[in-house]
Amino acid sequence: MSHPPFPVLARLRAGQPVFGATLTTPSVEAAAHLATLGFHFLWVEMEHSPITLETLRLMTLAARGLPAQVFARVPVNETWTAKRVLDQGVSGVIFPFTTTPELARRAAEACHYPPLGKRGCGAGAATRTWPEPGNYYDSADANVAVMCVVEEIAAVERIDEICAMPGVDIIFIGAWDLSFSMGLRGRQGDPEHVKAIERIRDAALRHGKFLGRPAGTPEQVREYMEQGFRLFQCPTEIDLMARGARAILEPLGIAGVPRDERSFD
């Protein structure tokens, strides 16, 4: 069965939602399996997990020919971090803490070859797993998705400049870090937090950017889609495992470790 090589941007441009499974453990087996379950991309978490560059390459190899694209969230918004994951064959880069227009420009330039950007030539590994035949450089320039995460209140003050940056495809709202930067310690429903998210959303839509945010349930997805969001970071493989276990065991009267006996997650 053939699959479209770059479903994320294609679906977004068609107004369709996009769902990504989050990987936080260095399991190539988990990545390969998640890539077959209906998700449109894998969010490989390299900012908050022990996943290394070598593991990312193996995940890219394991997902070759499967329906889901491989995206990597790099640890910091730097040209060299983007270069390293792109050269492993990922087709999307997620840049954390994009708090200024200068960082948005850096993200866009890191993912495009000159004269569009500043990406260096050295993509031998990427060319061996890239899903589209022909000129890799032209294909990568046209199809690599650039996602900037807005997750600090300081970014909201310059959000129009950030969202206006050419070469940035997706504005993703890091709702939890945003709340912490506002002194809310994770509280998502606070009126000021809601107002900040609305301001980011309005700027992204005004400048023609696609909008993303985390979503853990179908109900959240439906609610956020009504607000203009189309890309959703879905739960981690660990959370999906926990949900599957509860679905089987709880109806049988079997429970895991109580929440108040473990760390908050």
Evaluate whether residue 175 is within a structural domain.
yes
**The domain containing residue 109 runs over which residues?**
7-261
> What is the token pair recorded at 119?
């990406």
Q: How far is the C-alpha of 193 from the C-alpha of 208, rounded, in Å?
A: 23
> What is the token pair recorded at 221?
């997805």
Evaluate whether residue 181 is within a structural domain.
yes
CATH of the domain at 123: 3.20.20.60
DSSP β-bridge partners for residue 241: none
Q: What is the pLDDT of residue 1?
A: 54
pLDDT by position in tens, the chain (length 265): 578 999 999 999 999 999 999 999 999 999 999 999 999 999 999 999 999 999 999 999 999 999 999 999 999 999 999 999 999 999 999 999 999 999 999 999 999 999 999 999 999 999 999 999 999 999 999 999 999 999 999 999 999 999 999 999 999 999 999 999 999 999 988 999 999 999 999 999 999 999 999 999 999 999 999 999 999 999 999 999 999 999 999 999 999 988 777 776 5
Q: How far is the C-alpha of 21 from the C-alpha of 68, rounded, in Å?
A: 9
The answer to whether residues 100 and 162 touch, using CB atoms and an 8 Å cutoff, is yes
Which amino acid does the sequence have at 188? Q
Q: How far is the C-alpha of 73 from the C-alpha of 222, rounded, in Å?
A: 25
Which amino acid does the sequence have at 22? T
> What is the token pair recorded at 46?
């390299």
Evaluate whether residue 256 is within a structural domain.
yes
pLDDT in tens, 43-53: 999 999 999 99
Q: What is the pLDDT of residue 3?
A: 86
Evaluate whether residue 159 is within a structural domain.
yes
Q: What is the pLDDT of residue 87?
A: 98
Evaluate whether residue 125 is within a structural domain.
yes
Helices 79-86, 101-110: crossing angle, 10 deg rounding: 30
For 209: left if phi > 0, alpha if psi spans -120 to 50, otherwise beta; the answer is beta
> What is the token pair recorded at 218?
């179908």
> What is the token pair recorded at 91?
């087709």
pTM value is 0.96
> What is the token pair recorded at 80?
């060299």
Evaluate whether residue 228 is within a structural domain.
yes
User: Over the Cα atoms of the chain, what is R_g?
Assistant: 18
Q: How far is the C-alpha of 72 from the C-alpha of 50, rounded, in Å?
A: 13
Output the DSSP codes for 188-251: SS-HHHHHHHHHHHHHHHHTT-EEEEE--SHHHHHHHHHTT--EEEEEEHHHHHHHHHHHHHGG
Q: Which helix (H) or strand (E) holds 69?
A: strand 69-73
Q: In the chain, how many domains are there?
A: 1
Evaluate whether residue 1 is within a structural domain.
no
